[in-house]
Each structure stands twice: as structure tokens, then as C-alpha cells.
């Protein structure tokens, strides 16, 4: 049935009278025709440029004919793992299997293979030796050169070598894929497509690489961690469309993997054109019986307003994928999308987000970026904000004001992340005030990540004092507006450079604020980030000096437990961590302590410790301890009596008393 979606079956081709598609797109995600999904964007862009594209979503790799579902393409197979790297999609940082895949029907896990791009390409190559295969998306983009693979715990070559594909389209890909399509249509052999920005190819022709930067070869970086750290920093410094150079990575048998400079940023008009394409804005009807695709729920009524990020957190791959130069849509384009949302039957009046990688980046960080590119030798915001930066939020504020006036819109939330240090540098507090008043649903999520400046420096984040100042200003504005909205901080444990002592510093700050995080992100070494290079090499690429990296699972668990020290399940780990960090003084009954003693054998220590703090001689004895415990139990029981009644209250009191006696 011709229902407005791109073809997914031969029946669809017959209805459209298409004898042979130009491109067959193989995706690890289910087919959702929405601009938050890379498959939909690339396919619609190619369609808008006159090419026919069909989608094979989540092919069954147990079927040898799964890649022939739509016939052989005229120009090329396009292959992507989907919106996520398939290994990140499948595994927690502990390497345990995830239970749910939000990009699959009904959240079902197991509908795509590990290392999906490589598996799909090899299946295509079994039957179609000569058809060009072009890979893209996050998995291919971030594995485009030799890289450390966390799941295999070793260096791996460019995915171009492992997969057998002909070309990588890295980054967002709209421009370079249209150029690739035009080149193939004109009759140029895929092996001769070596001239397009935003692509990676392999060659044995040394003439093609005469003017390139020569990186250490794969055999070198595989054996020498310092060389890998040096190589990755060169790649990062050249990931700029204005000043980036061609780079070449040698392999055995005279093969070179060559990366061309990134594609140029999309203009505002080009961004508008992409988001004006005829997306269906929902999953394909073939998934209705399974309950649809969970991943669309949060983005269906969200609007992408920008791309790119000059925040450059070391643990984030966005800058290495989308680039540091901000690209934006016009107000008219965004307002039109918002108005269309109000006409949807299931729209309840709430737009969940208006943003991008960082919501409040609505223009390049400085004027020279659109002429000269980003700086090679410094970041925009850290360690201190660049004096050339434009911190204005006026454009974003005007956009949100216009959106608030659209009939049918009750509330517009900002959930994709506010860069608090950037917001704090804007001397005009007008946007900050409107953010608090109109665009928060009771709590604002921010990412200070840590409280230790030594760790924050390795993360590429601002000093902790910056977050403290932001928090104070946020609370002042809330009080001024007679609102009681909270900050929800995200913290990360075990980032390279973080020790147990640093984790204690963070735990003490959490105790000071009284805000216990419900979730903690353990550092995840995903491909192609500076932090992942640090994790693998135990070297800071910027200084080439050795740094401490927590790799032992038990130590990582201790760092994570310290951040959630109030959780009873963590008490033993917290105690062990504090003793190992030389902070026994934080185990006890004083106000400064994180936990109480767990073992009777430690009582002598606590008795001595409390004497040193100037308490009475009797303080800390066993009887006094029991008396204090009973007092606290009684107090706790009294407080709970306001919330519980009858049998439920008595049960809670008995449990609380038993727990207190056990301690």
C-alpha cells in the first residue's frame, strides 16, 4: 500500500512502479519516518534529489536472502547500525546485556547483531561482490580510523577494513551522500570517488595522498599506546571543515585509509530544507501490532533547532561526529513544525524539547568560526571561556517567546541539556529568568559531572565553583519568582583521572547539597572520544603524561557507591572505599559522617575518634550509642506517623527498630 512511507517491500515497489531502486538502505533500527532518525533523514534527502530509496529495517541475518528483499540496487547499498552504535545499544558499561532496545518493535532486544554494520556488509558481499557499499551513521562515523574497542578490549582497524565496504560517509552526511549519488549516477566507479568531503576511502595509490597528514600506521598504534594518543589528537584537531586536512593511516600490503576533510556545515536554509521534507513523523504501520517503537515517544513532540556542539566534553563523541560549529534552523521553520504538532490528534499541548546536542547553543561560539573554523589549540569554554565568545541568548529567547504564543501550546520544555557555564556567562539574565518561569517542569537537569577539579579538567568541564555559582543563581531566581523548582545534577563515576579520594570529594558535596542522585553514569569508553583514549592508554593526549584510570570492576563499583552513599545496598562498598581512601573519619555518628559503622569490631575506633572531636568521655560508649540509636528510631517513627496509619505504620516502625538495632 502506498501510504507515504518509503518502500519496504516488493509490493511497495510495484505500487510505485519502480523496477529497480537506486539505493537500498539497510538499517539496524526499525523504520521510523521522523527527522530524529538518521535513516529517515538520509533517505528523504536522497529522494528529494531525485533518487529512489527503499528501506530494509533490521534484516534477519539468519536468512541468507535477507539483503535481497528489495532486489539489487542500481547504484549502491547504504548501511547503518541505526541511531546508536550497536554495541552501546546492546550492552551496559558492565558489558552485561541490556533488556530493552528502544529502537525495535515493542522494545524487543536481539533484532540486530553485535557490530551490525560489519555483519550487514559481509552478508551483502557474500552475494553481491561488485555492488558499491557505503556505510554511515554513528557506528561507522566513530570507527572510521583505527580505534580502541572497549568490548573487545583492544585496538581495531578502520571499520572500512573490517566490513569490506567501499566508502564511509562520516558526520551527518546529507551533503556528501548526494554528491556520492551524483558521482555514481554519472558513471564514476566507486573506487574513484576519492574527492568528496566527509568521506573515508581506501587506496593503494600513493599519488592520492601526497598532500595528506600521515598518521601512525595501524600496526604502530596497535602496539604503542603513546602513538595512538598522538594520532587521535591529530584527528581531533583536524576535524574542522575550514582548516582540517586530509589524513592518511597506513595498513599492511600498501593499503592506505584516507579521510577527507569534513563536509561544510549546513546553512540555515539547508537545515530548513532538510526538516521540511515529507516525513510521516511516526513508525511504519507494520509495527502497530507490536506496539510501535518506544524511541519515538520522547522525540515525537520535540523539535531539533540546532546541530553541533562547541562544549567539547572529552567523554562525548558529538563534536567528533557533528562538529563544533553550530548549525541552526530558522524561526519560521521551527514555528511551522510546532504549529503542525498542534494539529496531531495525540498532541496534548506540551512540546517536550526545543534544542539539540546543547539546547542553548543557537549560533557559532564566535564570528570567526564561519570564516576560519574552530581554533586548533584551544576549546571555547574550558578551562576558561574564550574572550571572543558570544554568550547572547537573545535569539533563542525570541524563538521561545514566539512559540509560546502559538494557539494550542500549553508549555514548552527544554530537556536536551542546558550548558550552565555558557548560560552563566551571559550578563543579561533575561533568558535565565524566562527559562525558570516558563520552560522547566519542576526540575532542571544539568550535568556538573563531578565536584573534583582534577577530574573535571580531564573531562573537559568547567571548575566545580562554576556549577556552585550557577546553582546559587538558579535558586535566587526561583525564590524571586516564588517558585520551588529543583536542579537534578548528573554525575559520572570512574572517569579517567578519578580516584577514590575524588569520589569521596563528590560524595561530600552531595551530602552538603542534600540532593542524592537516583542514577549514576559509570564512565563508558565508547569509540572516538578523548576520554576513551585516556582510558585505554592511561595517558592524557594533551600533555602526554600518565594519568590514573580505574579499570578494576570492584573499584569502579566503590566509586559509584560513594556517589549514592545513602543507599543501604551500598553501605559495605562505601565503608570499604572510605577505609581504602584513608577517610575512616567519615564512618561514624557525627554530622560530617557519610555512613555509620557496620561492624562491632570497629567500635573502639569510633569511641577514640569521637573523643578526639572533643566529645564527653561517656560519648561513644556502647550504652550511649544504643541510647542515641533509640532516640533516632523514635524520632523517625514519629515522623512516619504523619504519613502512615494502622497496621502499615506499626509494621514500618518494627522494621525501622530492627534495622537500627542491627546497625
- Answer whether 380's CB lies under 8 Å from 240's CB: no
- Mean pLDDT score, 357-364: 94
- Answer whether 68's CB lies under 8 Å from 203's CB: no
- Answer whether 89's CB lies under 8 Å from 27's CB: no
Residue 647 clears pLDDT 90, i.e. is over it: no
- Answer whether 91's CB lies under 8 Å from 98's CB: yes
Q: How far is CA 457 from CA 138, 382, 453, 649, in A?
A: 26, 8, 6, 49
| Range scoring the smallest mean pLDDT among 30-34, 265-269, 283-287, 605-609 | 605-609
Confidence of residue 367 (pLDDT cuts 50, 70, 90): confident
91-122, pLDDT tens digit by residue? 999 999 999 999 999 999 999 999 999 999 99
Closest Cα partner for 395 from 356, 431, 436, 357? Answer: 431
Q: Is 566 among the domain residues?
A: no
Q: What percent of the chain has pLDDT over 70?
A: 90
- Read off the CATH number of the domain in which 70 is found: 3.40.50.280
Q: Is 604 among the domain residues?
A: no
Q: Is 88 among the domain residues?
A: yes
Phi, psi of 540 (to 5 degrees): -85, 115
- Mean pLDDT score, 587-600: 88
The neighbour count for residue 130, using CB atoms within 10 Å, is 7
State the pLDDT at residue 455.
Answer: 98
| Helix segments in 485-552, DSSP class H | 500-513, 530-537
State the pLDDT at residue 206.
Answer: 85
What whole-number distance in Å separates Cα of residue 193 and Cα of residue 169? Answer: 12
Q: What percent of the chain has pLDDT over 90?
A: 85
Q: Is 425 among the domain residues?
A: no
317-335, pLDDT tens digit by residue? 988 999 999 999 999 999 9
Residue 534 clears pLDDT 80, i.e. is over it: yes
State the pLDDT at residue 370.
Answer: 83
The rounded mean pLDDT for the chain is 91
117-162, pLDDT tens digit by residue? 999 999 999 999 999 999 999 999 999 999 999 999 999 999 999 9
Residue 601 clears pLDDT 60, i.e. is over it: no
Closest Cα partner for 330 from 281, 263, 274? Answer: 274
Confidence of residue 416 (pLDDT cuts 50, 70, 90): confident
Strands (E), 515-630: 521-522, 539-540, 545-546
State the pLDDT at residue 208.
Answer: 84
Confidence of residue 298 (pLDDT cuts 50, 70, 90): confident
- Answer whether 445's CB lies under 8 Å from 461's CB: no
Residue 373 clears pLDDT 80, i.e. is over it: yes
Widest CA span in the chain = 93
Strands (E), 28-172: 32-33, 53-57, 76-80, 133-136, 147-149, 154-156, 167-169
Look up cell 510505485; give the residue.
16
Q: Is 28 among the domain residues?
A: yes
Would you call 394 helix, strand, or coil by DSSP?
A: helix
Residue 609 clears pLDDT 60, i.e. is over it: no
Confidence of residue 400 (pLDDT cuts 50, 70, 90): very high
State the pLDDT at residue 9.
Answer: 97
Residue 639 clears pLDDT 60, i.e. is over it: no
* Higher-confidence position of 487 and 607: 487
Q: Is 55 among the domain residues?
A: yes
Q: What is the pTM of this model?
A: 0.88
- 134-149: buried (b, 16+ CB within 10 Å) or exposed (e) per residue? bbbbbbbbbbbbbbbb
Contacts 24+ apart (CB under 8 A), 622-627: 625/589
Q: How far is CA 175 from CA 139, 181, 262, 266, 274, in A?
A: 19, 10, 10, 8, 11
Q: Is 53 among the domain residues?
A: yes
Confidence of residue 598 (pLDDT cuts 50, 70, 90): confident
Confidence of residue 599 (pLDDT cuts 50, 70, 90): low
| Helix segments in 204-262, DSSP class H | 218-223, 225-237
215-266, pLDDT tens digit by residue? 999 999 999 999 999 999 999 999 999 999 999 999 999 999 999 999 999 9
| Helix segments in 91-173, DSSP class H | 116-127, 137-141, 159-163
Confidence of residue 547 (pLDDT cuts 50, 70, 90): very high
Closest Cα partner for 312 from 271, 268, 361? Answer: 361
User: What is the span of the domain harbouring residue 93?
Assistant: 10-201
- 47-59: buried (b, 16+ CB within 10 Å) or exposed (e) per residue? beeebbbbbbbbb
The neighbour count for residue 504, using CB atoms within 10 Å, is 23
Per-residue 3-state assignment (H helix, E strand, C coil) for 87-104: HHHHECCCCCECCCCCCC
Q: Is 623 among the domain residues?
A: no
| Helix segments in 327-389, DSSP class H | 331-342, 369-372
Would you call 444 helix, strand, or coil by DSSP?
A: strand
Q: How far is CA 381 from CA 386, 433, 460, 461, 643, in A?
A: 6, 22, 9, 8, 47
State the pLDDT at residue 659.
Answer: 43
- Mean pLDDT score, 406-420: 94
Confidence of residue 478 (pLDDT cuts 50, 70, 90): very high
Strand partners, 540: 545
User: Total domain count for the chain?
Assistant: 1
Residue 2 clears pLDDT 80, i.e. is over it: no
Amino acid at each position: 500500500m502506498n501510504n507515504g512511507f518509503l518502500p519496504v517491500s516488493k509490493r511497495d515497489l510495484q505500487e510505485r512502479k519502480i523496477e529497480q531502486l537506486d539505493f537500498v538502505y539497510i538499517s539496524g533500527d526499525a523504520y521510523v519516518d521522523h527527522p530524529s532518525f538518521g535513516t529517515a533523514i538520509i533517505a528523504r534527502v536522497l529522494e528529494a534529489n531525485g533518487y529512489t530509496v527503499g528501506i530494509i529495517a533490521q534484516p534477519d541475518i539468519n536468512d541468507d536472502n535477507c539483503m535481497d528483499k528489495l532486489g539489487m540496487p542500481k547504484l549502491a547499498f547504504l548501511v547503518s547500525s541505526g541511531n546508536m552504535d550497536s554495541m552501546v545499544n546492546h550492552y551496559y558499561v558492565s558489558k552485561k546485556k541490556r533488556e530493552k532496545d528502544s529502537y525495535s518493535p515493542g522494545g524487543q532486544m536481539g533484532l540486530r547483531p553485535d557490530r551490525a554494520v560489519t555483519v550487514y556488509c559481509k552478508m551483502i558481499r557474500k552475494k553481491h561482490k561488485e555492488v558499491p557499499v557505503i556505510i554511515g551513521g554513528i557506528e561507522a562515523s566513530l570507527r572510521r580510523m583505527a580505534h580502541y574497542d572497549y568490548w573487545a578490549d583492544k585496538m581495531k582497524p578502520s571499520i572500512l577494513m573490517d566490513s569490506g565496504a567501499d566508502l564511509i560517509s562520516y558526520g551527518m552526511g546529507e551533503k556528501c551522500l548526494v554528491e556520492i549519488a551524483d558521482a555514481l549516477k554519472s558513471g564514476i566507479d566507486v573506487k574513484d570517488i576519492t574527492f568528496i568531503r566527509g568521506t573515508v576511502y581506501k587506496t593503494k595509490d600513493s599519488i592520492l595522498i601526497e598532500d595528506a597528514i600521515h598518521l601512525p600506521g595501524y600496526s604502530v598504534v596497535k602496539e604503542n599506546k603513546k602513538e595512538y594518543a598522538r594520532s587521535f589528537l591529530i584527528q581531533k584537531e583536524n576535524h574542522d571543515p575550514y582548516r582540517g586536512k586530509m589524513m592518511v593511516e597506513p595498513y599492511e600490503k600498501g593499503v592506505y585509509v584516507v579521510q577527507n576533510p569534513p563536509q561544510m556545515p549546513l546553512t540555515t536554509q539547508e537545515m530548513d530544507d532538510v526538516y521540511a521534507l515529507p516525513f510521516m513523523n511516526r513508525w511504519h504501520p507494520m509495527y502497530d501490532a507490536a506496539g510501535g517503537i518506544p524511541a519515538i515517544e520522547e522525540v515525537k513532540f520535540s523539535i531539533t533547532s540546532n546541530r553541533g556542539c562547541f562544549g567539547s566534553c572529552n567523554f562525548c563523541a558529538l563534536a567528533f561526529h557533528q562538529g563544533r560549529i553550530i548549525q541552526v534552523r530558522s524561526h519560521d521553520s521551527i514555528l511551522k513544525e510546532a504549529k503542525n504538532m498542534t494539529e496531531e490528534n495525540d498532541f496534548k499541548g506540551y512540546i517536550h524539547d526545543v534544542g539539540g546536542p546543547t539546547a542553548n547553543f543557537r549560533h557559532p561560539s564566535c564570528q570567526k568560526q564561519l570564516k576560519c573554523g574552530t581554533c586548533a589549540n584551544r576549546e571555547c569554554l574550558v578551562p576558561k571561556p574564550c574572550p571572543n565568545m558570544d554568550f547572547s541568548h537573545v535569539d533563542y529567547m525570541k524563538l521561545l517567546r514566539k512559540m509560546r504564543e502559538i494557539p494550542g501550546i500549553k508549555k514548552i520544555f527544554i530537556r536536551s541539556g542546558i550548558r550552565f557555564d555558557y548560560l552563566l556567562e551571559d550578563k543579561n539574565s533575561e533568558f535565565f529568568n524566562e527559562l525558570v518561569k516558563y520552560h522547566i517542569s519542576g526540575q532542571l537537569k544539568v550535568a556538573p559531572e563531578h565536584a573534583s577539579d582534577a577530574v573535571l579538567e580531564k573531562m573537559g568541564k568547567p571548575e566545580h565553583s562554576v556549577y556552585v555559582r550557577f546553582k546559587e543563581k538558579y535558586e535566587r531566581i526561583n525564590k524571586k519568582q516564588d517558585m520551588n523548582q529543583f536542579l537534578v545534577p548528573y554525575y559520572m563515576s570512574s572517569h579517567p583521572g578519578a580516584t577514590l579520594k575524588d569520589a569521596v570529594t563528590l560524595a561530600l558535596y552531595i551530602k552538603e547539597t542534600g540532593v542524592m542522585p537516583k542514577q549514576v553514569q559509570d564512565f563508558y569508553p565508547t569509540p572516538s572520544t578523548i576520554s576513551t583514549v585516556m582510558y585505554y592508554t592511561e595517558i592524557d593526549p594533551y600533555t602526554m603524561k600518565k594519568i590514573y584510570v580505574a579499570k578494576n570492576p570492584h573499584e569502579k563499583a566503590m566509586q559509584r557507591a560513594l556517589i549514592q552513599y545513602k543507599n543501604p545496598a551500598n553501605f559495605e562498598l562505601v565503608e570499604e572505599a572510605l577505609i581504602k581512601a584513608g577517610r575512616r573519619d567519615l564512618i561514624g555518628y557525627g554530622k560530617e559522617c557519610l555512613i555509620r559503622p557496620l561492624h562491632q569490631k570497629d567500635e573502639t575506633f569510633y569511641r577514640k575518634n569521637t573523643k578526639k572531636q572533643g566529645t564527653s568521655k561517656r560519648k561513644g560508649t556502647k550504652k550511649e550509642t544504643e541510647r542515641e540509636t533509640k532516640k533516632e528510631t523514635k524520632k523517625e517513627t514519629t515522623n512516619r506517623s504523619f504519613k502512615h496509619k494502622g497496621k502499615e505504620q506499626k509494621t514500618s516502625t518494627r522494621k525501622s527498630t530492627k534495622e537500627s538495632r542491627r546497625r
